[in-house]
Structure 1
Amino acid sequence: MMSLGKCASPKVFWPSIQKGRLHCRSHLAHWFPHPSLTMLLFLGYNGWLNLTEIDPDEEVQGEIHLQIEIIGSSAARKLRCVVFDARDLARKDRNGASDPFVRVRYNSKIQETSVIKKSCYPRWNETFEFDLDESATEKLCIVEVWDWDLVSRNDFLGKVVFNVQRLKAVQREEGWFLLRPDKSKPRLDEGNLGSLHLQVQLRDEMVLPSIHYQPLVQLLCQEVKAGAKNKKVHLITLIDETTTAECRQELAVNLVKLFLGQGLVKEFLDLLFKLELERTSEPNTLFRSNSLASKSMESFLKVAGMQYLHRILRPSINRVFEEKRYIELDPNKVESKEIGCSSLHRIQSESEVIQQSGQLLQSYLTDLLSTITKSAKMCPAVIRATFQLLFKRVGERFPEEKDQNVKFIAITSFLCLRFFSPAIMSPKLFHLREKHADAHTSRTLLLLAKAVQNVGNMDTSISRTKEAWMAPLQATVQRGVAQMKQFILQLIDIEEKDELDLQKPISLQPQVVKEGYLFIHKARSKGPLLSFAFKKLYFSLTHEALTCAKTPNSKKSSFVPLTSIRAAEKVEEKSFGISHVMQIIHTNDAGQEDTAYLQCKCVNELSQWLSALRKVCGNNAGMLCSYHPGVFRGDKWSCCHQKDKAGLGCDKTRHGVTLREWNDPLDPDLEAQLIFRHLLAIQELMREKYVELSVLDKSENHQSEDPENADSPIRLFQILHDLEEIHHKEVSRSTDMAQQNQNYLVELQT
């Protein structure tokens, strides 16, 4: 989508399962079998979908560029179909491509294009004409794309269906059309392979220039600075009480990132602490719900403390993965195990397994707690200052002697229960490991996470009763509680130099955005016998350049400066005969366009590298609108067979397709847009809640008509109305611009 600002990236999921598959394509029409579900993707879909056997005729992807029109006089009218080209077709052959041709069917007559060998981006530029039959029973013109095979039957690649009656009214249709699967076959195995619970959301956000969001951002900042004093209806309370549980997590992330960029995240969280404490009477329930305060604090730790988390947990996590020891404390889950040399096997008893497991877990927990308790100075200053405020607010709310532990538990409920423990249980989700753990390692991590939770709960009697089999760790947990209290006191004891750190602007941009081993492909020779060699190097992506070295500790040499990058895209598998290759199109020192080909070890790694490159290059000038997904070999491109090496690419670039991750750089305009969109969705609920919570007399109602003196909710409703009108205008303008660009590309290609 074209706009004056930026477009946020869509979240796309590709789930697949052996034996059965749930098709998820880049085009909405291919995602789900039901049109209603396709429309729901814009709002989000969450539900169970049946898995089915893979049908070759449904393995459809790609688009075809067509022009279809009715020409001639009323006495001799004809149906004309011009087949220009296609892109991103399914790969049906072993060489990683297809041999596509197009079949046009109308009124029982068939015409076909020539076959384009070994291409998923074919170009035909062929025209077909049919006599228009007013009495024909079939009122459809069907354009099918097939993969030609010499010895076996041709493979179906997709189709587009045109209603001739509708075409008579519009006379002509032209553009890129999504290829559709063949739904003529009945599905008999629906649900036989089980179901998959899937949550999918596709998002395409139009982000306006910063000036349009200033009134909304200023209002939210004023509310945070004013605090909870003398507020009849606090705006943050209104937002919290009208936001559903499903949306609260995302809203919390957006608000945290917004206030981080404004330098007010500490004040924002302090306000939430006060509002939460005002409605909490029992200390045992404090921050245990999924309120906006709990979700915001959890999101804050992930956004601002991820690097700290990695430094603390990585040694212990790596040790568990490397040792691969079988550990179990629950007698109901102990598995029999043979020990000893090959000639003297014996079965290890249940008590021996539990005893050995207890010793190993004690060792893991002791090392981890030792690392945590020595890390107070490593913790980011803004997190320490926030914990200091939390400790103070809880102490003021529950000053009794019997509640002295509550202020410690308030901190550990976030630090241990919502930060350390989830990362220990699922290290891959927190980027601590590249792969998920196997069953035994996963169980060990779960037991270690439970032990950390018990320390965070200050070893209450409830936790001991609930899982009595954790008793072998009791002594270590009790020592850990004392260590954790001492650590918290050090954590919130902020010195003068730490106060100075709080005045520095917040930045989430790590020095290294992405790093790891990649294979770089280089041409051995030139001409028709071009071949490629690849070399394994360690690449590091920063906000200045992409560098490489032989090993992580070797001296790095500059590979590609970021300012020279013009596109980062995938490469067709057939180009090199291998998978997971990306290309970085950039300008070299001579100012000429050059391409570097890098191979990743898996599709997830490929997606992460592409996402990282696109994010750091998002503001580069001269980014390409099109590219070639193949390689120029001999005298033509392998993808579309064009012979002009410097010609227009046959596929569109995908600069906006990125992954949203915790370490993304702050983008205040995007966060403001996401907050606006959420508030717009709950606007009516906020109005109703505002009326319910307000006790206004006539004078106050009259006074609220002045924007400067109005209550914050009234001002918010006006701001939302103004922003909505601006969005409508920009959507109209961007649609016109997109159509003009599409027409321009069509002219260039024809």
Structure 2
Amino acid sequence: YRDDLKARFPDLNRKARSYDIHVRFYHEHLLERLRMCGERQRIVPQKHDFSDTTLASNNKCCVCQKQAVRMSKCSGCGVAAHEECSNRISFNCGTAGRIRVKYKYSREIIHAKDVYVPFYNALCTNNFCVLRYLNLKVTQQREAFSKALMRVFIKQKNTQRIIKGLVVDEIANTPDMKIVFRHNSLTTKSIDYSMKVFGHEYLAQVLCPVIYHVCKSDANRCEMDPTRVNAEQKYSEEETNQLVDQNFRTLREICTALLARIYATKRKIPAQIRLTMQVIRESVLAESETRGIDPMKDDVTYVSLTAFLFLRFFCPALLNPSLFNLLDEPPEPSAARDMTLLAKTIQTLANMSSFSNKESFMLPMNEFLQAERPKMRQYLDFVSSPMDEDSKAVAIPEPYLDDSIDLPKELVRVHRHLRHVQPLMQSHLDEISTENEHEDCDGFRNVIKQVDYITELNLAEEKTVS
């Protein structure tokens, strides 16, 4: 039987490897260490001291796991729960408490690199026709799929080609140019990941000084909402207005400093990101000409660029600096609120819009936004224009990225995702096959054929091993 399988699948004669993904968490050991740490610090278990508190954002109750803003919070250990749930907490204040562990285990079979060459070539058929079709169709694990795809094309030094194919298709299938790239798709997730890969060092260089400055500052130094400034009712109306005016000036100064850093480092943007911006700009202009609309109307061209540079690059890093490895731990709530207002202002400027009455406390910033808008347009024109030789030199070295990417492993992940959507691909192939000589038919047939082959090869490998 084994010989028969090897006769059917010659690739089985080549050694395959497998890798296991799992998490081992010795929670008992950790709890013991925490208990010993508590003893060294002489923490005596005691009852919780609960008080009714309005939290800064939605938090989960430690008992029922439901979210709420208004909860009872312990002044000792900080645990939060609904008032009706607080009597059901099973651990005392000052103890290690409980730890919930969630882990995932999977096993993948990885064949030799050459086995996946036809599969990769099939994905590239007819300007990535299968990937363009799946752009808005893939909803589950879209981020993981796009990450695996981009790592494959980064390894193959084919990033700009796949980005251009996805961008052109997304723009063509967006009915309203004002909202292009504003929703999540395979295109937006892929570009988002590539910008994080190529632009992390640049992002840290631009944002870290501003983030450190905000985190070291006093609380509420940028807060412009009077209800938050005087949340404890300890200021008079006149004193509250004075604090709001002072915070307004502080917020404007920090925004000015941040924008100055962004504008001053425009030549240091990695070449890979600038090439992506150039592709987006050229594609938007070409589609606008096809539709007979003015690309400058409603700043469509600029908004399509800021959908990535600011909406998915600068501003998320300001909102969650620890997730971008710009800080070792999340900032304090007061600093996080300041950076939220900073990101809100920068994003509104990038959207070429102004604050409305919905956030009336931010209306004083509109004059600042109006003054900065011409500079923002100049900046976007520069980063999306063809590069000179000096700008082309600012590129992330390809060997630096290649060392961290295992191409067969990433193609295995792509194959796994395509298996999940194979019925969708087959249905579309049956639909377009009724049309005479549809240009995408061969592309879909090749991809489905390769997906089936690798699936059968994996099954045969498992049988030979067992």
Match of 1:371 in 2: 261
Give the equivalent residue in structure 2 for 1:673: 412
Q: What is aligned with 2:459?
A: 728
Q: 1:469 — aligned with what?
A: 361
Task: Find 2:123's aligned residue among 198, 217, 220.
Answer: 220
Question: How does 1:114-193 map onto structure 2 within 5 Å?
Answer: 192-193=88-89
| 1:488-503 pair list within 5 angstroms | 488-497=380-389, 501=393
1:388 aligns with 2:278: yes
Contact 2:270–2:394 at 8 Å: present in 1 too?
no
Instruction: Quote the residue 2:50 is aligned against.
Output: none
Is the aligned partner of 1:290 residue 2:184? yes
Query: What is the distance in 2 between the residues matched to 1:351 and 1:465?
Result: 18
Match among 308, 319, 330 for residue 425 of structure 1? 319
CA distance in 1, matches of 2:240, 2:34: 55
Bigger radius of gyration among the two: 1
Matches of 2:154 and 2:34 in 1, distance apart?
A: 51
Task: State how far apart, in whole Å, the 1-side matches of 2:240 and 2:31 are.
Answer: 54
TM-aligned CA deviation for residue 728 of structure 1:
1.9
Paired residues of 1:242 and 1:689 also in contact (CA < 8 A): no
- List gaps (5 residues or longer) in structure 1: 13-24, 28-58, 61-87, 97-188, 228-233, 340-344, 511-615, 617-664, 737-750
Quickly say closer, same or farther: Cα 1:89–1:330, change in 2 above 3 A.
closer
Tell me the amino acid that sits aligned with residue 372 of structure 1: I
**RMSD (CA atoms):** 3.6
SS in 2 for 1:7: strand
The answer for unaligned runs of 5 or more in structure 2 is: 1-14, 38-84, 91-97
* Alpha-carbon shift at residue 448 of structure 1 (Å): 0.6
Measured in 1, the distance between the counterparts of 2:333 and 2:279 equals 41
2:301 to 407, 414, 430: 407
Distance 2:86 2:243 in 1: 45
Residue 333 of structure 1 aligns with an amino acid whose one-letter code is R
Matched to 1:300, the amino acid is S
Task: Say which SS state the counterpart of residue 268 (structure 2) adopts.
Answer: coil
* Conserved? CA contact 2:198–2:396, under 8 Å: no
Q: Residue 481 of structure 1: CA displacement?
A: 2.2
Amino acid at match of 1:330: D
One-letter code of the match for 1:490?
F
How many residues align structurally? Answer: 393
Within a 5 Å distance, the mapping from 1:210-289 to structure 2 comes to 210-223=113-126, 226=127, 234-244=129-139, 246-289=140-183
Which one of the candidate residues 196, 200, 211 is aligned to 1:317?
A: 211
Per-residue displacement from partner, 1:356-383 (whole Å, max 9, x unpaired)? 1111111110000000011121111111
Give the direction of change, closer, same or farther, for the CA distance of 1:292–1:688 in structure 2 (3 Å limit): same
Q: Distance in 2 between matches of 1:377 and 1:446?
A: 27
After superposition, the Cα gap between the structure-2 partners of 1:351 and 1:92, relative to the gap in structure 1 and judged at 3 Å, is closer
Which residue type is aligned with residue 449 of structure 1? A
Amino acid at match of 1:680: R
Give the Cα–Cα distance (whole angstroms) in 1 for the partners of residues 34 and 260 of structure 2: 57
Hey, what's the Cα distance between the residues in 2 that align with 1:695 and 1:308? 50
- Give the alignment's TM-score, normalised by structure 2: 0.74
Q: Quote the residue 1:7 is aligned against.
A: 19
Residue 685 of structure 1 corresponds to which residue in structure 2?
424
Identity, % of aligned positions: 24
Shift of 1:677: 0.5
Q: 1:8 to 1:361 in 2, by over 3 A?
A: farther
DSSP-derived class of the 2:398 partner: coil
**2:171–2:180 contact (8 Å) kept in structure 1:** yes
Task: Name the CA distance, whole Å, in 1 between partners of 2:34 and 2:306.
Answer: 56
Residues 1:350 and 1:476: Cα distance change in structure 2 (over 3 Å) = same
- TM-score normalised by structure 1 residue count: 0.48
Q: Return the alpha-carbon distance in structure 2 between the equivalents of residues 258 and 417 of structure 1.
A: 25
Partners of 1:262 and 1:671 lie apart in 2 by: 12
Q: Structure 2 vs 1, CA of residues 304 and 718 (structure 1 numbering), >3 Å: closer, same or farther?
A: same
Residue deviations 1:630-668 (CA, integer Å, cap 9, x gap) = xxxxxxxxxxxxxxxxxxxxxxxxxxxxxxxxxxx2222
Quote the Cα distance in structure 2 between the aligned partners of 1:256 and 1:498: 26
What per-residue deviation string (whole Å, max 9, x for no partner) do you get for residues 176-216 of structure 1?
xxxxxxxxxxxxx9995599999864444333221121111
How far is 1:242 from its partner? 3.5
User: 1:503–1:320: structure 2 CA closer, same or farther, 3 Å change rule?
Assistant: closer
Does structure 1 conserve the Cα–Cα contact (< 8 Å) formed by 2:215 and 2:332? Answer: no
Residues 373-382 or 397-406, more deviating: 397-406
Q: CA deviation at 1:464?
A: 2.8
Q: Kindly indicate which of the two structures has a greater share of residues assigned to helix.
A: 2
For 1:328, the equivalent position in structure 2 comes to: 223
* Distance apart, 1:466 and its partner CA: 3.4
Q: Contact 1:365–1:476 at 8 Å: present in 2 too?
A: no
Judged with a 3 Å threshold, the aligned counterparts in structure 2 of structure 1 residues 670 and 328 are, in CA distance, closer, same or farther, namely: same
Report if aligned partners of 2:223, 2:229 keep a CA contact under 8 Å in 1.
yes
